[in-house]
Structure 1
Amino acid sequence: MEKYELIDMQKFDRADYFYYFMGVGTTIEFTAKIDVTKMIERCINDSLNFQAVMLYQLYKAINTIENFKYDVLEGNLIKWDKIVPTFSSMNKNSKLFFILYADMQETCVEYNEQYRKTVEEYANSTTIVPQGTLPENIFNVSCIPWLHFEHFSSNSKTMENKVAKMITFGKYEKIDGCFVLPLTIQISHAIADGYHVALFFEKLQEELNLM
Structure 2
Amino acid sequence: MAFRLIDIENWERKEFYEHFINQVVCTYSVVVNLDITNLKNHRLYPAMIWLLTKTVNDMPEFRTSLTSEGLGIYDEMHPMYTVFNKENKNFSGIWSYFSEDYDTFLKNYEIDAEKYSTSTRYAPKDGTPPNSFNISMVPWLEFAGFNINVFDDGHFLLPIFTMGKYF
TM-score, with structure 1 as normaliser? 0.73
Bigger share in strand: 1
CA shift at 1:25, angstroms?
2.8
Unaligned runs of 5+ in 1: 44-48, 174-211
- Following superposition, the deviation at residue 164 of structure 1 comes to 4.0
How far 1:162 sits from its partner (Å)?
A: 2.7
Q: CA deviation at 1:89?
A: 0.8
Deviations 1:10-53 (A, max 9, x none): 1011122222222343111110111000112x31xxxxx32111
Which deviations, in whole Å up to 9, do the C-alpha atoms of 1:121-164 show, x marking residues without a partner? 11221121111331111221110101121101122312464324
Distance 1:75 1:15 in 2: 17
Per the alignment, residue 108 of structure 1 pairs with 102
Contact 1:75–1:161 under 8 Å retained in 2: no
Quickly say closer, same or farther: Cα 1:116–1:25, change in 2 above 3 A. Answer: same
Q: Does 1:9 align with 2:8?
A: yes
Equivalent residue number for residue 58 of structure 2: 64
Do the aligned residues in 1 keep the contact of 2:79 with 2:97 (CA within 8 Å)?
no
Tell me, in whole angstroms, the C-alpha distance in 2 between the residues paired with 1:149 and 1:8.
Answer: 40
Letter in 2 for 1:53: A
Of the three residues 165, 171, 185, the one matched with 2:159 is 165
Which whole-Å CA distance do the structure 2 matches of 1:108 and 1:102 have between them? 13
Moved over 4 A (4+): none
Matched, 1:82 2:82: no
Does structure 1 retain, via aligned residues, the 8 Å contact 2:26–2:154? no
Distance 2:3 2:30 in 1: 27
What is the RMSD of the two structures over their aligned residues, measured on CA atoms? 1.6
Q: Which runs of 5+ in 2 are unaligned?
A: none
Contact 2:27–2:149 (CA under 8 A) maintained in structure 1 = no
- Equivalent position amino acid for 1:168 in 2: T
Q: Secondary structure at the match of 1:140?
A: strand
Q: Report what 2:150 is aligned to.
A: 156
Provide the secondary structure at the position in 1 that maps to 2:58. coil
Greater CA deviation, 103-112 or 30-39? 103-112
Q: TM-score, normalised by structure 2?
A: 0.91
Larger RCO, structures 1/2 (Cα 8 Å, 6+ apart):
1
Residue 26 of structure 2: aligned partner? 26
Comparing 88-97 with 61-70, greater Cα deviation is found at 61-70
Please name the residue that 2:116 is paired with: 122
1:62 Cα deviation from its structure 2 partner? 2.0
What is the aligned-residue identity percentage?
26
